[in-house]
Chain A
Amino acid sequence: MILRELLDSDRISWDNLTQTYHHGCFMQSWTWANFRELDGYQTFRYGLFDESDQLIGGCIFYFYPQRSAANLIFASAAPLLPPNLETEGMQLLLNQAEKLSQGMGSGGAIALRIEPLLSAKPEWMNQDFVRSPADLMPSETLWIDLQKSESVLLAEMLPKGRYNIGLSQRHGVETVFTSEDAAIPHFYDLFYETAQRQGFLSESYGFFIKLCQNLFREGMAEIGFAKYNGKILATILLIYWGDRCTYLYGGRSESARQVMPVYALHWAAMQRAKQLGHRIYDFYGYSDDPTHAYYKFSRFKRQFGGTVKKTIGAHDYFFYDRLADAVIRLLR
């Protein structure tokens, strides 16, 4: 097995791998990496190849350049390691990350943060990987199994969820999905309104312009709207990748809440994802802990049924030579 930088010509193979890999995720897709570059990140894309030059694993590392000589290299939802060769593959990637950590201009990287979407810490993550103080993705989420029939999906929802979907249908709430750029400002208006109302940190309009433009062009994302009497009342941003449709962001108006537009929208999104061949509807972030920031909207998500999925979260591997560099510079 060898490790080498992925070339543009490897893009299709890489995206195929990340879509079919059992723990693959859109955050390791070529397009997502391009989007992050627009947002100021540097990306470093590496593949693991077997003897016949077949791509069997790899990782896209992300790095946000700054000048403090204290930084992290990230790999959200990664690495992707070939079965039975995990330890060897991880070692190759670690060596590469450590090389990268030395060549980050005036800044440096003191650690690699990885976040494989696994339910238990694997053997290839030895004791040098320590739990990160923050995750790159939610380590707890809610999945709806789209392989079930629509009637079963409805039957497995909580009564309130099922009732509210019916209510929205009786009110005649319409849903529409689009990947037209023109939808971005309408999405953002509602997202911003919601963020202000609920007091959570909102990404900028520019962030969504960059995200949507990039992903729309590759058929990776759609914006959904729920409309009532011609007015947009709710919106969601969906990411399609591999077997999953992920609900990444959303927002709703305070007006006409009684017609339950958000319920109509998610139900339509699930039906659409199912038709498009996706196996899982991922609500992206969930917690049963009343003290957790996700608790409030998790109660809403729970109305749709589904299964809670937990992953091991992010883990850090420290480059002690780099950390010692930083300390020595300040001690002198």
Chain B
Amino acid sequence: MATSLFVEQHTDGIAFYINGELQFHSADEAIYHEYLTIPAIALAAKRFPNQLLRVLICGGGDGLAARDILRFPQVNQIDLVDYSQEVVDLGKQDFASFNQGSLVNPKVAIHIQEAFAFLNRLVQEFCTESLHDYKYHAIICDFTYPASVADTQIYALEWFSLLKQALMPLGIIATNAVSPDRNTLAFWCIYQTIQAAGLSVKPLQLQIPSFINHDYGNWGFLLASEKAIIRSEIESLDLPPNLQELSLDALQTVFTFDTAIAQTRHSVTIHQKDSSQLLFYLLNRLNISHPNSSTVSSENPQINFLDFQDAPTAIATSRHNFQLNDPMSLEALAQSWLKQLESNPDSLLIPAQHHSHTPEISQEWLGRAKQLLNQIDFPRLIAKLLERSQELPHEIADDLRELQNKIIKFQQAKPLDEQESQAISTDSESRPSFNLTTAKVIAIVSLTLLVANLAAPDAVFAKGSTSSSGFISNGSDDGSGGLGFWGLMMTVAGIFWLINLANDNKK
């Protein structure tokens, strides 16, 4: 897998980016790495007294997490799994002064591999009852921000189930997550997914100046174990000396969240490997209402997750949600679209399909639905649908045949000029009748075309340039045929269908 690695030199240190995402700034990386690693290892040390600890680091090729884990004399072995040899090479060389040479420490074994594949093999081959010694006392996940469906697999139910199998029963997992205030739903999605894997979980959040400067918001972590982590354990941790940022007092405050943000944890569903649930939340973070604050404010009501034990919420773990329910599937998008139409048709939007997709872009494209439909040769499409009529309910196939006949008759009739078309399209009495299937087909095609264009970000459209030829008016010159009128009619009909369906649902 090709990777972009970028080391930025600053007067106060270096900043390191993987695929354009900031991994650390040397000026404040201690905040991130100490909070990611120290509580987990200190908890493991407390729960496994007088034992030598085995630790797995997933990611973390820069060696900074390993540095902090090696502060504990109880740690006897660290397996570090990172897919990038290049990152590990940087960790061994360029970052050695920052990670204190952690990657060449004899306690550290480096495995260049995808973490999922590594864990899968480990669990299948070694983590049986009789090979208990292969399990870890602590697992630290230090991953790059997930930017694609593939990237989100390491936050899936299947992933956390694997971690649980590779972990000693009292062992501790610490994972970086995403921002609780910038990506609230995504953060709680990971939280609920961990719970659904049968682990008890505590959320925590930090302000890291370099992350805030990159507009990443507060940064979130999750601390998990099969056995619930309780306040008294946290309060009595033995921390190693000479930490730069972490103290016992400070640690007890980072489990605090604004109540409004915390309450949204009940509204998310879990993420599974074969769905895009988490990516959906990451892309559609603006769809949630919560206090518009990038900091934990003392004025907002807050709750501290150390004070209670959360149970997996019904919505996250319901049977329905364990089934594949991909929010970015066309089926789910159609449902979502309909719901928006029912609740607020004036602000109809399509969920973001790509990280550069904004509500403004959606709105612009929705205004062009008619133009999109004009691209389609409907007689050809309907013929294609009828070729496969056995796959459709009888009544729909019959309706499509009726529509096909209407189109043929229409095309044989004298073409209407634009004024007549407009009159017909806006005058409900003179408009040709469309059955429900027609409207439904048009609505589905509209949505499909919108989604396809919105998922195609490599277009100058995003910068305000559209095809400038005004192709509606010269449609017959560019091969789009004389279907402008039909496009208009069908858009109207499609929208009527959606409204009617929404109204039916209300009844």
Contacts and interface: CB of A to CB of B under 8 A. Distances in A.
A324 B384 contact: yes
Contacts of A14: none
A166 interface: no
B453 A134 contact: yes
Given A133-B466, A314-B467, A66 B353 contact: yes
Contact of B329 (A67, A132, A181): A67
A258 interface: no
B469 A131 contact: yes
A197 interface: no
B328 A329 contact: no
Contact of B356 (A68, A201, A331): A201
Contacts of A329: 330-331
B456 A72 contact: yes
Interface stretch (A48-56, A88-96, A286-294): A286-294
A128 B481 CA distance: 10
Contacts, number: 222
A56 B211 CA distance: 49
Main secondary structure of the interface of B (DSSP, over half): loop
B301 interface: no
Interface in A193-211: 200-201, 203-210
Contact of A66 (B6, B354, B365): B354
B326 A67 contact: yes
B20 interface: yes
B147 interface: yes
Contact of B448 (A185, A287, A326): A326
Contacts of B147: 40
A238 B411 CA distance: 51
Given A201-B463, A320-B384, A327-B441, A34 B375 contact: no
A314 B380 CA distance: 22
Given A313-B469, A332-B392, A323 B460 contact: no
A232 to B, nearest CB: 16
Interface in A271-294: 285, 287, 289, 292-294
A136 to B, nearest CB: 6
A131 B356 CA distance: 24
Interface string A291-309: 0111000000000000000
Interface stretch (A137-145, A153-161, A218-226, A260-268): A137-145
Interface string B427-457: 0000000000100110011011101110111
A44 interface: no
A258 to B, nearest CB: 28
B478 A131 contact: yes
Given A74-B456, A323-B448, A210 B330 contact: no
A103 B353 CA distance: 20
A201 B361 CA distance: 10
Interface residues of A, number: 76
B381 A324 contact: yes
Given A64-B458, A201-B358, A314-B467, A210 B20 contact: yes
B465 interface: yes
B294 interface: no
B380 A326 contact: no
A135 interface: yes
Interface string B1-26: 01110101100000001011100000
Contacts of A69: 329-330
- How many chain B residues sit at the interface, stated as a range, is 35 or more
Contacts of B8: 182, 184-185
B460 A136 contact: yes
Contacts of B387: 324
B474 to A, nearest CB: 8
A327 B334 CA distance: 11
A134 B466 contact: yes
A22 B275 CA distance: 44
Contacts of B343: none
B460 A214 contact: no
Contact of B478 (A37, A70, A71, A121): A121
Contact of B9 (A121, A182, A326): A182
Contact of B3 (A38, A70, A138): A38
A204 B6 CA distance: 14
A182 B6 CA distance: 10
Contacts of B452: 70-72, 110-111
Nearest to B387: A324
Interface in B139-197: 147-149
B372 interface: yes
B371 interface: yes
Contact of B467 (A111, A139, A214, A285): A139
A68 B455 contact: yes
A205 B21 CA distance: 8
Contacts of B480: 130-131
B83 interface: no
B391 A328 contact: yes
Contacts of A30: none
Contact of B396 (A129, A135, A205, A331): A331
Interface string B61-105: 000000000000000000000000000000000000000000000
Contacts of A128: 479
Contacts of B465: 134-135, 138-139, 285, 287, 292-294
Nearest to A284: B460
Interface in B362-401: 365, 368, 371-372, 375-377, 380-381, 384-385, 387-388, 391-393, 396
Contact of B328 (A67, A135, A313, A332): A67
Given A70-B447, A314-B459, 14 more contacts: A66-B149, A67-B275, A68-B333, A68-B451, A70-B455, A131-B480, A133-B371, A133-B466, A139-B469, A201-B356, A201-B361, A201-B463, A208-B20, A293-B463
16 contacts: A65-B148, A70-B455, A132-B467, A134-B461, A135-B460, A181-B6, A287-B465, A293-B464, A294-B464, A313-B468, A313-B469, A318-B377, A323-B376, A323-B448, A327-B385, A329-B330
Interface of A: 34, 36-38, 40-41, 62, 64-72, 74, 76, 106, 110-111, 113, 121, 126-140, 181-182, 184-185, 200-201, 203-210, 213-214, 285, 287, 289, 292-294, 313-316, 318, 320-321, 323-324, 326-332
Which 6 A-B residue pairs are closest in the complex by CB-CB distance? A206-B20, A293-B464, A134-B461, A127-B479, A131-B471, A324-B384
